[in-house]
């Protein structure tokens, strides 16, 4: 969740550390800090809140030094105060850390007995004191002290250490959360991801779990978990050095919503052959169509994409599907069938719960398939086969274009598997491929309703509670709509399967609760219409999103309606995602929240 960076450079490190942190800020933004060596001694600047507070501090009191480390925090242990901000330091060593040191309380007690005084409420501070202990009390050099300390920590973490008096050395370690090494010209770097290093270098080495590294200006000596020196490949990334801008949009989220016609098209280009019009997936080392069962695991919005996919795989491929949220699945000790395939969906490719669920499934002999947006992410690297979503960097914390490109990829997969299993004939496959190819143009039509959704937002912004309803593949869309609204506008919202309403939630209906109903004309149309009528009969304030058929049938009964283009029901989730995203966005703007960096959240969730 936190972002970490280290530079052994040839000129002032602090401004470049802050630039790197800006690109990592999506990982956490409740406090930030940097440390450099000034005349051999560790000096720090730290600030509570967003990175601009640290920037202002550095402008008031610049920090010289060509070697340094930086951190942007998402608090786990200890509130988001300046005192708890990283780097944490003793007079010998400073540390930036992502993850959790689970045994920090035992270590802290031990270090207090040795006379060390703690200043923060964090788990991280034990790292600085333990390394210092090994140097001061056991007489070890920095490398040996670091190696000895790494063996004492439990939990998932990555970290970078800066030592006083060591102008040409940083030590980094990766243990369950990501860390990459960047190779520059006469300079070397560490960072949580290649994106942070893009302005500095595109030559990146992704460390393996358990690796730790002695970094100097000219080399990286990489050790594995048993301390043996190992070689890891250095890859050239395609990431651009240019700072990803907002292109004139007020927020990244809005820009990313508007990018959807383009990135859905890019994803389709990867999976539909333009000449034959057929869905053509890359070769995999195992045959997904022969799976006895498909287990889909993910978190948050990616999980909702998985729930939509369950409907697709079951109807198009007659493949039994189980779908679960990773934090529940990973501890359930679920029995896994022989010949099963497990599918993991993740924008970042780093979500710890999803990754651990993947590892569990691997141990259970499942073939591992993943759908991720970030190439070289841990989930991608640990999978037997990967399908990439072509969303490009998603900076807004609320997932938008990653979701619709996940759906695009899942639709292509479900259709391919359905055809290979003999469930859908070639003509239906071709028909769906055609419907998918029309999605970018239809998505652009949906975006044209932005102004109407802005008007609706004024009504929703007044509400205390909002309900979203849908049936079939619209049920997960209802869940996603509610998640989008609550995470960025802080309004309480719930998604329900429309047919479930009468089993309890209907008690909430009154004239003050907006009920947003998603009703495409699919096989469940009449059923959902009945549910809408049940809400209307109880003076519910229905806000209808439907195509012409639904509008004709219901628009005179409901408070407000929006007509979306008619489409093959299979692709409807891709189109209905857009109005729920835009509605949440406009409500959040009206409420004056921080749309791109909503409170308490972070983009990449690498703690459990
Ligand atoms: C919500 C959102 C989160 C993520 C979830 C999984 O808008 O973005 O719910 O979908 O944290 O993240 P990834 O896809 O990176 O595994």
1.20.120.1200, 3.40.50.10170, 3.40.50.10490, 3.40.50.2300: which CATH number matches 448-594?
3.40.50.10490
Expressed in angstroms and rounded, the spacing between residue 487 Cα and the centre of ligand 1 is 11
Indicate the SS3 state at residue 500.
helix
pLDDT of 603 reads: 77
Q: Do the strands 188-191 and 229-230 form a parallel or antiparallel pair, or are they unpaired? A: unpaired
Query: DSSP state, 325?
Result: E
Distance separating alpha carbons of residues 546 and 518, to the nearest angstrom: 6
Predicted confidence (pLDDT) per residue in 103-129, tens digit: 999 999 999 999 999 999 999 999 999
Distance separating alpha carbons of residues 215 and 540, to the nearest angstrom: 63
Query: Mean of the pLDDT values across residues 529-549?
Result: 93
pLDDT of 267 reads: 96
pLDDT of 17 reads: 97
Among 345-354, 468-477, 531-540, where is mean pLDDT lowest? 531-540
pLDDT of 104 reads: 96
Predicted confidence (pLDDT) per residue in 495-511, tens digit: 999 999 989 999 999 99
- Bridge partners of residue 32, in order along the sequence: 47, 72
Is residue 337 within 8 Å of 293, Cβ to Cβ?
yes
pLDDT of 607 reads: 75
Query: Mean of the pLDDT values across residues 169-196?
Result: 94
Among 30-39, 74-83, 223-232, where is mean pLDDT lowest? 74-83
CATH class belonging to 247-447: alpha beta
In short, whether 597's Cβ falls inside 6 Å of ligand 1 is: no
Asked whether residue 239 carries a pLDDT value surpassing 80, the answer given is: no
- CATH topology for 3-236 is 3.60.20
Expressed in angstroms and rounded, the spacing between residue 534 Cα and the centre of ligand 1 is 33
Is 603 catalytic? The answer is: yes
Distance separating alpha carbons of residues 93 and 169, to the nearest angstrom: 12
- Do 448-594 and 247-447 have the same topology in CATH? yes
- Beta strands (DSSP E) in 27-143 are 31-38, 41-48, 67-73, 88-89, 93-99
In short, whether 302's Cβ falls inside 6 Å of ligand 1 is: yes
In short, whether 370's Cβ falls inside 6 Å of ligand 1 is: no
In short, whether 482's Cβ falls inside 6 Å of ligand 1 is: no
Mutate to test the pocket of ligand 1, among 74, 302, 356, 601 (most ligand atoms within 8 A of CB): 302
Indicate the SS3 state at residue 299.
coil
Expressed in angstroms and rounded, the spacing between residue 176 Cα and the centre of ligand 1 is 18
pLDDT of 107 reads: 97
Distance separating alpha carbons of residues 353 and 372, to the nearest angstrom: 15
Largest pairwise CA distance in the chain:
81
Asked whether residue 241 carries a pLDDT value surpassing 70, the answer given is: no
Asked whether residue 242 carries a pLDDT value surpassing 70, the answer given is: no
| pLDDT more than 90, % of the chain | 87
Task: Kindly list the domain boundaries of the chain, sorted by start residue.
Answer: 3-236, 247-447, 448-594
Asked whether residue 152 carries a pLDDT value surpassing 60, the answer given is: yes
Q: How confident is the model at residue 601 (pLDDT cuts 50, 70, 90)?
A: confident
Query: Mean of the pLDDT values across residues 292-309?
Result: 98
Is 39 catalytic? The answer is: no
Predicted confidence (pLDDT) per residue in 275-286, tens digit: 888 999 999 999
Expressed in angstroms and rounded, the spacing between residue 255 Cα and the centre of ligand 1 is 18
pTM of the model: 0.86
Indicate the SS3 state at residue 294.
strand
Helices (H), 184-337: 194-197, 252-258, 260-271, 300-317, 326-329
């Amino acid at each position: 969740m936190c972002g970490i960076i280290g530079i052994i450079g040839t000129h002032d490190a602090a401004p470049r550390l802050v630039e790197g942190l800006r690109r990592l800020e999506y990982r956490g933004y409740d406090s930030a800090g940097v440390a450099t060596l000034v005349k051999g001694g560790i000096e720090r600047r730290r600030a509570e809140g967003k990175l601009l507070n640290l920037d202002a501090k550095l402008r008031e009191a610049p920090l010289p030094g060509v070697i340094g480390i930086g951190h942007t925090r998402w608090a786990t242990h200890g509130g988001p105060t300046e005192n708890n901000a990283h780097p944490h330091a003793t007079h010998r060593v400073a540390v930036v850390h992502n993850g959790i040191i689970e045994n920090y309380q035992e270590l802290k007690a031990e270090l207090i007995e040795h006379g060390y005084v703690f200043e923060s409420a964090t788990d991280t501070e034990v790292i600085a004191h333990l390394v210092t202990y090994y140097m001061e009390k056991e007489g070890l050099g920095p490398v040996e002290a670091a190696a000895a300390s790494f063996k004492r920590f439990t939990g998932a973490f990555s970290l970078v250490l800066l030592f006083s008096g060591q102008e040409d050395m940083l030590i980094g370690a990766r243990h369950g959360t990501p860390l990459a090494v960047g190779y520059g010209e006469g300079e070397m770097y560490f960072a949580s991801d290649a994106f942070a290093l893009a302005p500095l270098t595109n030559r990146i080495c992704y460390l393996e779990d358990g690796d730790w590294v002695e970094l100097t200006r000219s080399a990286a000596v990489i050790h594995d978990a048993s301390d043996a020196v190992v070689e890891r490949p250095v890859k050239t990334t395609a990431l651009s050095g240019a700072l990803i801008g907002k292109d004139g949009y007020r927020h990244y989220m809005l820009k990313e919503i508007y990018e959807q016609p383009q990135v859905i098209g890019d994803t389709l280009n990867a999976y539909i052959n333009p000449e034959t019009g057929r869905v053509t997936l890359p070769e995999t080392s195992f045959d997904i169509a022969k799976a006895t069962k498909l287990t889909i695991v993910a978190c948050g919005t990616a999980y909702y994409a998985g729930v939509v996919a369950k409907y697709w795989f079951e109807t198009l491929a007659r493949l039994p599907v189980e779908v679960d949220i990773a934090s529940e699945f990973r501890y359930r000790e679920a029995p896994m069938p022989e010949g099963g395939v497990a599918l993991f969906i993740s924008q970042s490719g780093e979500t710890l719960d999803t990754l651990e669920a993947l590892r569990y499934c691997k141990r259970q002999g499942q073939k591992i398939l993943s759908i991720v947006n970030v190439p070289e992410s841990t989930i991608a690297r640990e999978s037997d086969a990967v399908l990439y979503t072509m969303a490009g960097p998603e900076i807004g914390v609320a997932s938008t274009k990653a979701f619709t490109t996940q759906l695009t990829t899942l639709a292509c997969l479900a259709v391919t598997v359905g055809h290979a299993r003999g469930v859908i004939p070639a003509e239906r496959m071709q028909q769906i491929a055609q419907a998918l190819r029309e999605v970018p143009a239809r998505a652009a039509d949906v975006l044209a309703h932005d102004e109407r959704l802005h008007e609706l937002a004024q009504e929703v912004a007044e509400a205390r509670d909002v309900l979203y309803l849908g049936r079939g593949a619209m049920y997960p869309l209802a869940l996603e709509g509610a998640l989008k609204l609550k995470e960025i506008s802080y309004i309480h919202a719930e998604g329900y399967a429309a047919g479930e309403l009468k089993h309890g939630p209907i008690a909430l209906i009154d004239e003050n609760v907006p009920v947003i109903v998603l009703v495409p004309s699919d096989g469940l149309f009449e059923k959902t219409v009945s549910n809408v009528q049940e809400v209307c009969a109880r003076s519910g304030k229905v806000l209808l999103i439907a195509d012409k058929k639904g509008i004709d049938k219901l628009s005179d009964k409901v408070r407000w309606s929006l007509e979306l283009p008619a489409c093959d029901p299979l692709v409807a989730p891709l189109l209905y995602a857009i109005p729920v995203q835009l509605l949440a966005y406009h409500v959040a703007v009206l409420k004056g929240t921080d749309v791109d960096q909503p409170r308490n959240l972070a983009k990449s969730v690498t703690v459990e």
